[in-house]
Amino acid sequence: TAGHADVDSATPFAPKTHVRVASITKTFVAAAILQLVTERRVDLDAPVDTYLPGVIRGDGIDGTTITVRQLLRHQSGLPEYFDDDTQPPTSPVSPRELLSWALAKPVLYPPTPVPVYTNTNYIVAGLILEAVTGRPAAEEITRRIITPLGLTGTYFPDPGDTWVRAPMAHGYEVADGGREDVTAGEPSGEYMAGSLISTGEDITAFITALMDGHVVAPAELAQMMDTVDWPLHGPGFGYGLGLTSIELGCDVTAWGHGGDLAGYHSIMAVVPGRPAVSATFTQASPDVTSIADDPRFAVLTAVYCPV
C-alpha cells in the first residue's frame, strides 16, 4: 500500500483501509449466482423470465429472450439505468425503482455475443438472487461468501448509510486544479452493480479464493472464466460471468475485475499460481478510465511483467 487515505490529515493508506470497490461487487454477485447453479436452483441458459416473470418488459425489452448468462456477461442489450442526465439519488431507492429507470428507455440492441457493459444487468442479477433465495441479495452474499471467507472488512452498507466505516479512505474528484471530497454517497443507488465496501486485504483474499476454487465449484468457475472478447473496453480484454480476463504485455493473463465510482477507482486481479494484486486510486483525474493511461493496469504490468 502507498499514499494517503485522507489527504488533509496525511493518514496513510493501509491494507485494512475501507474503500468503495464499486463494480468489483459484480464478481461477488456472479459467484453467488454460480453457487445457485451448482445447487440446480438457477440455470444459466434459462430466460430471466423464469425467475422474474413479467418484470423485464419495455421498448424492445423482453425478459423471455434474455438469459441469465447474458445478464452476467453483459450481452443482454438492457439500457443503462444511470446516464449523464441522471442525478445520483441522495435518499434510499429500491432496486425495482433503479430497474424502472432502465426500462423507461429503449433496448440498446437485441441480445448479442458482444458485451456492452451496463450496470442494469447486475441490478437484475441481484433481483434474481433475491427471488430464488428469498433473502436480500446483500444478506445472501454475506452468508455465502463474505462470512465463510472471513472477509471482516467487507460489507454492504444499508440504504441511507452514506459514509464508510473507519479506517477509511476518502474519495476525491480532481478537476481544473481543484480537489473535491466525494466520499459520501447513497449506496442503494448502486445496489448489486456496485455498492460493496471492502479493503485491499479482503478483495485480494477473495479473488485468490475464487480462482483457487474455494468459492464456486470447478465446473462453475470454468463458466465464469468462459470469456468473450470485449472490444469496447480495449484490446486484450475479455468478459466472462462477472470476471474479466486481461492480457498483459508479457504473455500472461490476469483475472479479476475493476470498479469505478466517484472518488474510487479499484482493481483486483491474479495470475494463476502467483500472488493476487489489488489497488485503489482515490485521487484519480476523470480520465482514469482511459485504458492506455489507467494507473491500475500499470500496477498489474509492474507486478506481473517486471522489466
Active-site amino acid positions: 23
Q: Tell me which residue of 187, 138, 198 sits closest to 162, measured CA to CA.
A: 187
C-beta separation of 137 from 144 below 8 A:
no
Other Cβ atoms within 10 Å of 51 Cβ, number: 22
**Amino acid (one-letter) located at 281:** F
Q: Tell me which residue of 55, 177, 175 sits closest to 120, measured CA to CA.
A: 55
Q: Tell me which residue of 169, 94, 83, 88 sits closest to 130, measured CA to CA.
A: 94
CA atoms of 146 and 54, how far apart (whole Å): 32
What is the distance between the terminal CA atoms of the chain, rounded to a whole angstrom? 21
Specify which residues 140 forms β-bridges with. none
CA atoms of 198 and 156, how far apart (whole Å): 9
The enclosing H or E element of 44 equals none
- Phi, psi of 142, rounded to the nearest 5 degrees: -60, -45
Q: Tell me which residue of 212, 31, 207, 200 sits closest to 122, measured CA to CA.
A: 31
